[in-house]
Amino acid sequence: MSLESLKERLEAKTGCKLEIVENPSVSAQHSLLVQAKDAVAVATLLRDDEGYNYCSNVTGVDRPAREVSEKVKVMKLVEGVETEVEETQKRMTAAYLEVVYHLFSMTKHKYMVVLRMRTLDREARVHLPSLTPVWRSAEFQEREVYDLYGVLFNGHPDLRRILMWDEFEDFPMRRDYVEPDDYEYEPTAHDAVLRKTNAHWAEAGEGEVGQ
Amino acid sequence: MSTFSAPAMELTPKPSYAADGAQLLEVSMGPQHPSTHGVFRMDVALDGETVVKLKPIFGYLHRNHEKLGEDQSYIASMPYTDRLDYFCSMTNNWAYALAVEKLAGIVVPERAEYLRVITAELTRLQNHTSLVGFLMQDMGASGTPLMYAFREREKILDLFESLSGARMMCNYMRFGGCRVDLPKGWQQQAQSVVDAYPKFLDEFEALLTSNEILMARTQGVGALSSELAIAAGITGPMLRASGVNYDLRKVDAYGIYDRFQFRVPLGDHGDVYDRCMVRLLEMRESLEILKQALRDLPEGPIQDPKTKVRNFKPKPGEAYGRIEAPKGELGFYLISDGSANPYRFRVRPPSLINLTILEDLCLGRNIADVVIILGSVDIVMGEVDR
Amino acid sequence: MLGVGVLKGLVETARNFFGSYVSEERLTTLQYPEETSPRIEASRSFPFLVYDGSDWQQGMRCVSCQICEKECPPKCIFIEKSPDKKPDAVGKMQFYPAKFDIDISVCMSCQICVEVCPFDAIKMDVDYNLSATNRFSDLLLDKERLSKSNEYYHEIHPTEAASVDADLAAAREKAAPKPAAPATAAVQTAGTGGAAS
C-alpha cells in the first residue's frame, strides 16, 4: 500500500489537497501534510475507511525561521553579455509549529501513516483542529503539545496544561525558550553550565567568574 | 521568548452537586498517596463512596526529558532513557536504540539481537512479577505476595548486574548492538533462573488466582471494552486483557521476534482480574521465548563495527521506532538535522496514554476500586511525567 | 466451595514460612551490615582514575584529553590541563590533568566516561558506602581522592583489568622505540618503569 495511492484515494474522497513530505533518512517514513481545514475529514476517513483506528503518537515540533542559503541561477549582464550566473541567495524559511500524528491499525493491517499539520506562524495563528474526537488517544498528547509548544487545538474537550502547572506562562519546548535564572553553585561547571553561571553573575553585576 | 500567551482557563471549578442536591465531596488523592505508585494525583469527586468525577493530574516528576534529549548527543540520552520507566531500563534502551538504528540504517549483529531479546524478556518477567505483587499490595494483601515477587525479581536483577554492572539503571544497549558480552557463566545462571521460574509461578498462582477474596474484589471491576481500548490507544497487557490481539512482537516482529514460538494471551472481560491474569500468562510465554533464545544464542560480534559511540551524526531525516515494552507500546520519534544532537526527541510513553481512560473505568465505582484500577493499569511516574 | 482458594493460599504461605528454615532458596534475607551479598564483578558505582606503579601523580594514566568531560551526560567532570607534559602509561609525552574533579552527587553511574576513554584511565569503582555530611567538600572528589592503583583495579574487576593490561602491554610494545633512537628510549624506560605492575 503506497502512500501515493492512499493520498489519491483521500484526495478523491474529500476533494482536498494533500502533500507528501519526503523523509530523506533510510527509515523512509514519508508523511502526509494536511491543511488544517481538511484535517478532521481526512482523519475520519483514515480511521473509518482505511482502518487506521489507532493513533499511537502525537508530537509537537517547533520550526522557527532560520536562514538558508541556496544557489539560484539568474540572468545577469556580464561585460555587456547576458549570461546565466549562479548566485547564492539567503532567505528566511517560514516559521511554524508542526504536529505529527503516527497512525496504525490495531485490527486490519500493519502499515503506518504519518500525518502532519502546520500552524500559520508561531505567535498568534497557532490554531489547529483537534483530532481527539477522531482518536481518543490524542487527548493527553494534544494537551501535552499545547502545554509544551502552545498549539491551540480547536475542539479539544479539555485543553489545559498537563505537565507544567496551570499558572506557568511560557512554552518550554520551543527552541527559543529562555530558561529562568535558577542558578545554583555547581563545582564542576563548564560549557553550558559555565555560560549560565557567567550570565547569572553578569546580571548580578559581579562580572564574569571563571571556574 | 514567545510573545503569545494562551487564553486563561477556568482554574477553580465551582462546587459540584449530586443529582439529589447534596454537595459532592472533593478529594485530592495524592500526590503523596501510597497507592498512586509515585507522585500522581487524582482530583476525585465523591457522592458518598461513589466516584462521580476523576481528573488525573500529572507533572510532579516532570523534568522535560525531551528537552534534555535535544540538548545533548545521541549516546548521552541512552542513560537517561533508563530513568523513564525505571523498572524496565533494558526495554527502554532497546526502544531508543531501535529508533536510532532506523534513523541511521544500522544493522545489528545476530548475537546482539539475541542478547536484546533475552534481556528484554527478563525485564518483562520481573516487571510483571512485581506488578502483580504491587496489585495485591494495593488490594490489602500487605506484604506477602509482594515479598515473594521481589524475592524472584532479585534473581533477575542479579543477572542484570553481572551483565551490565547495574541492577536497574542498566544502560546496556548501544546503537548497533550491546555494550558488553556475557560474562563467564552468565548463560548457565540465566538458564537456572528460567528453569526455576515456572515453579515460582505455580506457587504464585496457587496463592492468588483461586482466592475468593481476590476474585470478589477484582472481577467485573474496571471493565474496559475493546472498542474503547482501541480508540484510546491503550497498549500492552491492558489492551490484550480487553481481547484485542495486538502485540508488537507479533505485529512488527522487530528484532528477531519472528524466530520464536510464543502465544499472545488474551483476556475476555477487560477487568482488573483479566489484566492480572494476562500478565501471569505472559510471563509463561516470556519463559518460552527465553528458553528458545538461550538455546539458540549464536557466537559472534555484539556490536556493529561501523557505528561509533562518539561523534555520531545521522543524516537528516526522521524515524519512529517502537517496541512492546512490558507496559505497552514504547516509541521514540527522532528528527535529525544532521548535527550531533537530535532536533526533536520524543518519547511515546505507554503509561501516560494508558491513563487516558482512567476516569471512564472509575466512574460509578467505589473509591477503594480506584486504587486497584490504577494498580492494574501499571504506571511508573518516571515515564508518565518524563 | 467458598474458602478453598483462601486455604490453598494459606498452605502456600505456610510452605514458604517453614521452608525458610530448611531451604536456602526460600530464605533470601541477609543480616546487613554484618553480612553482605557476594560482590558481582561487573557492578559499578562511581568512576575513579587508575594509576600505574606506586606514585599516583607519576603513574596517572589520564592524559587530560577531556573527552569524558565533553561526553559526560550530566556534566559532572571538570578537567584542567597541565602546563607541562609527563610520560603516560605507554611512554609518550602527554599532558596530565592539573585538576580533575568529579561531582559524584551529580554523577549517575552511567559508565559513558569509561567507554569513551581511549587511554583506559577512568574506570568504575564498586564502593557504595558513600554517605557524607557535606555535599561539596565530601562528594566533590578531586584528583587525589579519585586516584586508585592498578592493583586495586585488578582486585575489583579482575577480568576487565587483565584485558586492559594486555592491551596496554601491546601498545607499549608498539610504541617501543627502535634501538637507533636513544634519546626517546630514556623517556621510554622512565614511562614503562612505573607501569610494570
ipTM: 0.86
Residue B309 or B98, more confident:
B98
B369 touches chain A (CB under 8 A): no
For residue B19, the model assigns a pLDDT of: 65
Q: Which one, of C90, C164, C152, lies nearest residue C127 by Cα?
A: C152
Task: Write the DSSP string, chain C.
Answer: -TTHHHHHHHHHHHHHHHHHHH-TTT-----TTTS-PPPPTT---SEEEEE-SS-HHHHB------HHHHH-TT--EEEEEEEEEEE-SSS-EEEEEEEEEEETTT-----HHHHH-TTS-EEE--------S-TTTTTEE-HHHHEEEHHHHHHHSHHHHHHHHHHHHHHHHHHPPPTT-HHHHHHHHHHHHHT--
**Which residues are paired to C97 by β-bridges?**
C81
In angstroms, the separation between the Cα of residue C78 and the nearest Cα of chain A is 5
Question: Could you tell me which chain A residue has the CA closest to the CA of B360?
Answer: A136
For residue C179, the model assigns a pLDDT of: 57
Q: Which of the four pLDDT bands, split at 50, 70 and 90, describes residue A89?
A: confident
For residue C189, the model assigns a pLDDT of: 42
Q: Which of the four pLDDT bands, split at 50, 70 and 90, describes residue A99?
A: very high
Q: Which of the four pLDDT bands, split at 50, 70 and 90, describes residue B34?
A: confident
C9 touches chain B (CB under 8 A): yes
CATH of C35-173, one of 3.40.50.150, 3.30.70.790, 3.30.70.3270, 1.10.287.130: 3.30.70.3270
Question: Could you tell me which chain B residue has the CA closest to the CA of C71?
Answer: B76
Nine-digit cell string for C186: 630514556
**Which pTM value belongs to this model?**
0.87
C32 touches chain A (CB under 8 A): no
- Among B115-124, B126-135, C132-141, name the one with the lowest average pLDDT: C132-141
**What is the number of helices (H) and of strands (E) in chain B?**
15, 8
A190 touches chain C (CB under 8 A): yes
Q: What is the arithmetic mean of pLDDT over B350-359? A: 90
Of A57, A152, A192, the CB nearest to B348: A57
Q: Which of the four pLDDT bands, split at 50, 70 and 90, describes residue C177?
A: low
Mean confidence (pLDDT) of chain B: 87
Q: How many residues belong to chain B?
A: 386
B206 touches chain C (CB under 8 A): yes
Residue numbers of B between 177 and 236 with CB closer than 8 Å to A: 228, 230-234
pLDDT in tens, C34-88: 988 888 888 888 999 988 888 888 888 888 888 888 888 888 888 888 888 887 7
A-chain residues near B354 (CB < 8 A):
none
Q: Which of the four pLDDT bands, split at 50, 70 and 90, describes residue C93?
A: confident
In angstroms, the separation between the Cα of residue C5 and the nearest Cα of chain B is 4
Do residues C69 and C77 make contact, with C-beta atoms less than 8 angstroms apart? yes
**Which residues are paired to A19 by β-bridges?**
A33
Question: Could you tell me which chain C residue has the CA closest to the CA of B203?
Answer: C12
Kindly list the partner chains of chain A, i.e. chains with 3 or more CB atom pairs below 8 Å. Answer: B, C
Q: What is the arithmetic mean of pLDDT over C118-141? A: 86
pLDDT in tens, A161-203: 888 888 888 888 888 888 887 777 878 777 777 888 888 888 7
Domain boundaries in chain C? 35-173
Contact B353 A170 (CB under 8 A): no
Q: What percent of chain A has pLDDT over 90?
A: 11
Size of interface A-C (CB pairs under 8 A): 27
For residue B11, the model assigns a pLDDT of: 46
Q: Where are the alpha helices (DSSP H) in B297-354?
A: 350-354
Question: Could you tell me which chain A residue has the CA closest to the CA of B350?
Answer: A56
Residue numbers of A between 102 and 121 with CB closer than 8 Å to C: none
Q: Residue A97 and residue A128: Cα distance in Å, rounded?
A: 10
Nine-digit cell string for B383: 515515564
pLDDT at C196 over 70: no
Q: Residue C118 and residue A101: Cα distance in Å, rounded?
A: 42
For residue A211, the model assigns a pLDDT of: 42
Q: Which of the four pLDDT bands, split at 50, 70 and 90, describes residue C188?
A: very low
A-chain residues near B3 (CB < 8 A):
123
pLDDT in tens, B59-91: 888 988 899 889 888 988 999 999 988 889 999
For residue B192, the model assigns a pLDDT of: 92
C-chain residues near A188 (CB < 8 A):
75-78, 101-103, 106, 140
Question: Could you tell me which chain B residue has the CA closest to the CA of C43?
Answer: B165
C141 touches chain A (CB under 8 A): no
For residue C190, the model assigns a pLDDT of: 43
Buried (b) or exposed (e) across A95-129, using 16+ Cβ within 10 A?
bbbbbbbbbbbbeeeeebbbbbbbbeebeeebebb
Residue B149 or A187, more confident:
B149
- Among A103-112, B54-63, C90-99, C149-158, name the one with the lowest average pLDDT: C90-99
* Inter-axis angle of helices B272-296 and B110-139, nearest 10: 150
For residue A206, the model assigns a pLDDT of: 61
Of C5, C71, C116, the CB nearest to B212: C5
Burial status of residue B312 (CB atoms within 10 A of its CB: 0-12, 13-18, 19 or more): middle
In angstroms, the separation between the Cα of residue A197 and the nearest Cα of chain C is 14
For residue C183, the model assigns a pLDDT of: 47
Q: Which of the four pLDDT bands, split at 50, 70 and 90, describes residue B115?
A: very high
Is CATH 3.30.460.80 the right assignment for the domain spanning A3-64+96-157?
yes
C-chain residues near A211 (CB < 8 A):
78, 80
Of A187, A191, A211, the CB nearest to C103: A187
In angstroms, the separation between the Cα of residue B53 and the nearest Cα of chain C is 35
pLDDT in tens, B37-54: 778 888 888 888 888 888
Contact A187 C140 (CB under 8 A): yes
For residue B2, the model assigns a pLDDT of: 44
